A and B are shown apart, each in its own frame.
Chain A
Amino acid sequence: MDNFVFKVLLSLPLLLLLWDALVNIYYWYFDFSFVVQVSLLLLWGVEVWWVLKNSTIPLPVLIVSAFVVVYIAFVVDNPPKLNAYFSDALWAVLYTYLLGNYYQKSLKGNASSMGEVRLSDGV
């Protein structure tokens, strides 16, 4: 279950950035925020691919990049008001915290399942 939640959390920035990019493409409205959204989409796409392939991404890298991606993705959609900067930062912190925890849980889960496999193999 923790692994599933982790994957859901991992895919959230991807979904958000994809949605924003598709809306911009549908309305044929390309501005600087669209460029930012596409760049973040590529960055987070690489992160997700890395995590799903190896599952051994350093935690600080995952946390920092998650915060940056989510914070910028939120901020770029909102007007530059001070309260928006703060609230977006809080959302990004909450997301990063959850992602980091579930990443650790999923790592532990993987390790324990591998251990079970080893035991069953009689090693």
Chain B
Amino acid sequence: MRTEFNGYEKHDEGSIIVEDDNGNTGSLKISSVSISPQKPEDGDSVSFTVKVKSTHLTSQNMELELYVDGNLVDGTQGVINANSEETFNLHWLALTGEHSYTVKAYSIVGGEKFMEDEKSGRVKVVKDLIANISMEIECPSRVGLGGSFECLLQVENDNSETIGVQLNNITFRSEVKREEDDINYVRFQRIEGVFYLSAFKEVPPHSSRSVPINLGRVDNDFASHFGLSDNHLLLSSTIQGDVNPNVLHQIAYWDTEYSITLRLDVFDENGSVLFKDKALTTSTTFFYYGSAQAKIDREMRIQRLENFGENTIKVIVVIVTVYYSKGNLGDKLWEFVKGFWG
């Protein structure tokens, strides 16, 4: 401080302490409030980390209070040292919706609370929709080629808001085995068919819905106008030349398992994506005319038994031939032919 008085100059230095009516000095300031988790979901315990800075010359008793939508939800008391910053935690059980919060800092002097500072903000709590959605794909366990084929997507929505389900595509996949006439020659062929779907279904709150999965394309390897294609190449096969004497090369078609993968998106009622390209997988068995495999199995068993009978007869004929040909077989054959033709 510099003063002038009648040409004299006086210089002095020092500090001034200003006290309030109660004799307190300094103040408490909320320097920051951070929320964890940053995007809380319904039911989460939300932690408010509050940093309080004290400019008091002495340590100070203080109290923090957390108000959400104007209601006191948590509070804590503590002591903050002189000219320091302390961290306090407050908690709140999150409820769905957008809320306003206020953190108030009080100093406590003589058992009385004095408002020092407050900080406000907003917090948005989203409901954990995903945990309350269950989905399952249901397809027939066996489907005959050329028959009708329909899968259903069962969606159960236990949330309090509507969700939307968008079907993207469905893929059929199998490793088809082909055995040729030579039993040692076996080859595998990977068969895959993708159908692009465009179905959208809303599922209201606390309800379940069945979404039919119609194959979007027709007249290809997998689908026809009426359902599943009757293309036999979708099945594993074996060439059974000696199954049926009336057909030169009969091909046996075996039951063939296909894995089916459905991909879909799920939205909340605001259009936000809850699931993107979620995959649901199941399997089904394709077969040809139902009993073809059993019929061929039976024919093969009959064939084997008949061959056994035939081979037994041939063995006996060979034994008799050997017994007969102890003499000169050629001469006897000639005599027989001469005798037969007279």
> Is A100 within 8 A of B313, CB to CB?
no
> Is B306 within 8 A of A20, CB to CB?
yes
Asked if A78 CB lies within 8 Å of chain B CBs, one says yes
Q: What residues on B are CB-neighbors of A63 within 8 Å?
A: 340
Q: Which of A23, A94, A104 contacts B317 (CB 8 A)?
A: A94
Which segment of B135-143, B158-166, B187-195, B241-249 sits at the interface?
B241-249
> Is B340 within 8 A of A76, CB to CB?
no
Q: How far is the CA of A76 from the CA of B246 in the complex (A)?
A: 9
Nearest chain B CB to A117's CB is how many angstroms away?
26
Asked if A122 CB lies within 8 Å of chain B CBs, one says no
Interchain Cβ contacts within 8 Å, total number: 79
> Is A98 within 8 A of B320, CB to CB?
yes
> Is B298 within 8 A of A29, CB to CB?
yes
Asked if B79 CB lies within 8 Å of chain A CBs, one says no
> Is B301 within 8 A of A77, CB to CB?
no
> Is A12 within 8 A of B313, CB to CB?
yes
Q: What residues on B are CB-neighbors of A77 within 8 Å?
A: 245, 303, 306-307, 310
Asked if A95 CB lies within 8 Å of chain B CBs, one says yes
Asked if B336 CB lies within 8 Å of chain A CBs, one says yes
Q: How far is the CA of A34 from the CA of B200 in the complex (A)?
A: 58
Q: Which of B313-341 contact A (CB under 8 A)?
A: 313-314, 316-317, 320-321, 323-324, 332-333, 336, 339-340
A sample of 6 cross-chain residue pairs with beta-carbon separation below 8 angstroms, ordered by A number, consists of: A5-B320, A23-B305, A24-B302, A79-B241, A80-B245, A94-B317
Interface string of A13-25 (1 = CB under 8 A from B): 1011001100110
Q: What residues on A are CB-neighbors of B324 within 8 Å?
A: 5, 98, 101-102
Q: How far is the CA of A59 from the CA of B305 in the complex (A)?
A: 33
Q: Which of A8, A9, A23, A78 contacts B302 (CB 8 A)?
A: A23
Asked if A44 CB lies within 8 Å of chain B CBs, one says no
Q: What residues on B are CB-neighbors of A101 within 8 Å?
A: 324, 332, 336
Q: What residues on A are CB-neighbors of B313 within 8 Å?
A: 12-13, 15-16
Q: Which of A33, A59, A91, A98 contacts B340 (CB 8 A)?
A: A59
Q: Which of A29, A59, A75, A91 contacts B314 (CB 8 A)?
A: A91
Asked if B7 CB lies within 8 Å of chain A CBs, one says no
Asked if B110 CB lies within 8 Å of chain A CBs, one says no
Asked if B299 CB lies within 8 Å of chain A CBs, one says yes
Q: How far is the CA of A102 from the CA of B244 in the complex (A)?
A: 36
Asked if B14 CB lies within 8 Å of chain A CBs, one says no
Q: Which of B241, B245, B316, B333 contacts A76 (CB 8 A)?
A: B245
Q: How far is the CA of A36 from the CA of B245 in the complex (A)?
A: 13
Q: Which of B274-322 contact A (CB under 8 A)?
A: 298-299, 301-303, 305-307, 309-310, 312-314, 316-317, 320-321
Q: What residues on B are CB-neighbors of A74 within 8 Å?
A: 310
Q: What residues on A are CB-neighbors of B320 within 8 Å?
A: 5, 8-9, 98, 102
Q: Which of A8, A33, A95 contacts B245 (CB 8 A)?
A: A33
Q: What residues on B are CB-neighbors of A81 within 8 Å?
A: 241, 248
Nearest chain A CB to B70's CB is how many angstroms away?
85
Q: Which of B10-65 contact A (CB under 8 A)?
A: none
Q: How far is the CA of A73 from the CA of B313 in the complex (A)?
A: 11
Asked if A97 CB lies within 8 Å of chain B CBs, one says yes
Q: How far is the CA of A81 from the CA of B241 in the complex (A)?
A: 9
Chain A residue nearest to B295 (CB atoms) is A29
Q: How far is the CA of A74 from the CA of B309 in the complex (A)?
A: 10
> Is A20 within 8 A of B323, CB to CB?
no
Q: Which of B299, B306, B316, B333 contacts A8 (CB 8 A)?
A: B316
Q: Which of B113-149 contact A (CB under 8 A)?
A: none
> Is B317 within 8 A of A27, CB to CB?
no
Q: What residues on A are CB-neighbors of B243 within 8 Å?
A: 79
> Is B310 within 8 A of A16, CB to CB?
yes
